[in-house]
Amino acid sequence: MIKVVSMRKVAIVGDQFMLPRIFEKKLLEHCGEELAIRCLTQDWPDVPMEHGYAVQGMDGLKEYMGAAEEIIEFIDDSEVLVTHLAPMSRAMFKQLESLKMIAVSRGGPVNIDTNAAREYGVRVVNTPGRNASAVAEFTLGGILAETRMIRLGHEALRKGEWRGDLYRADTTGRELSEMTVGVIGYGDIGTRVVRLLKAFGTKIVVHDPYIQLSVDDVNDGVELVSFDALLEQSDVVTIHARVTEETTHMMNAEAFTNMKAGSVFVNTARGPLVDYDALYEALISGHLAGAMLETFSVEPVPVESPLIQLPNVTLTPHIAGASIKTVTYAAEQAAIEVNRYFNGMEPINGK
């Protein structure tokens, strides 16, 4: 007698970063071959994401891609959705009766209405820390670009100028070993930034009201300080907090005024953490020597943004978390969660 194998139906909605074929490969590795997989490739990052406040029926969703009708038609009777950016609103859950699990390959499933998911009995999991290593490395690169005059030298040579004056004692940069760096936020990324900075012999202070420093960091001389103390002591301030009501615009005019004269500000976290008008004023006044900005209050950044025109700012287009390791790690973590669901196990990172 031939044994009939029931195939578990999985819909994968990836894009040009989180490639569907990587999702599929990891699913087959962790869940076996008895899967009926369908794949959809979206256009991000070649096409910008959307936000729920701009589309009727998608209230509360952020940073997603795809029209509801398109996603519903593609998922159809799948039991599991593995995705990066596909939206799932309350109205969409109502139309997808077979859907029982969603694995989102990002730190926060902001493209999913998790309250509606719970009401409809759909498990939602995410992959926190997926790009922590990438962002931490990028942060160090941003700090060095500003403090060691890498950006200034690069831009001058592009224009045919040989900036020999950058070797002058009154204009040259400073080493991390002679500076204090303040790290705001001691989560997956902040802790890695601390670890990397220790290799440079940097004096490190941390502000995070919800944590205790690790024993290793305490033994290595890292100090947990108040927000004001961090601003006053630091030659470089780098922010790695989550966006909450409490942290929105935590870097405001008062905060920038309290920073040391001639210090540098780095943001590889999220735009809403910063009052960019206040930052602009601190930069043009000369109170801050420079800034490295990877994220912005509006993305893509408008071409008329005054920050783009400043000569003392390093700018990148929200790419700190982009690495091949991020792709493979996030896909693997999602596949592990799907396998746990198939085997009746509790999720590791459920929402």
Residues 63-118 have pLDDT tens digits of: 999 999 999 999 999 999 999 999 999 999 999 999 999 999 998 899 999 999 99
| Same domain (yes/no): 72, 164 | no
> Mind telling me the catalytic residues?
270, 299, 318
64 domain-assigned: yes
Determine if the peptide bond prior to 45 is cis (ω within 30°).
yes
b/e code 240-249 from CB counts within 10 Å (16+ = b)? bbeeeeebee
| Same domain (yes/no): 166, 237 | yes
- What pTM did the predictor assign? 0.90
pLDDT value of position 299: 85
Q: Tell me, what CATH number does 13's domain have? A: 3.40.50.720
| Same domain (yes/no): 196, 279 | yes
114 domain-assigned: yes
Q: Which pLDDT band, with edges at 50, 70 and 90, does 284 fall under?
A: very high
147 domain-assigned: yes
Q: Which residue has the higher pLDDT, 243 or 221?
A: 221
| Same domain (yes/no): 30, 150 | no
Domain residues for the domain of 27 are 8-129+324-342
| Same domain (yes/no): 55, 195 | no
Q: Which pLDDT band, with edges at 50, 70 and 90, does 4 fall under?
A: very low
Task: Give per-residue pLDDT as tens, 19-61.
Answer: 999 999 999 999 988 999 999 999 999 998 888 778 888 988 9
| Same domain (yes/no): 216, 190 | yes
Structural contact between residues 31 and 335, judged by C-beta atoms closer than 8 angstroms: yes
Strands (E), 211-279: 223-224, 236-239, 263-267
| Same domain (yes/no): 34, 121 | yes
| Same domain (yes/no): 284, 148 | yes
| Same domain (yes/no): 68, 87 | yes
> Total structural domains in the chain?
2
68 domain-assigned: yes
pLDDT value of position 5: 53
306 domain-assigned: yes
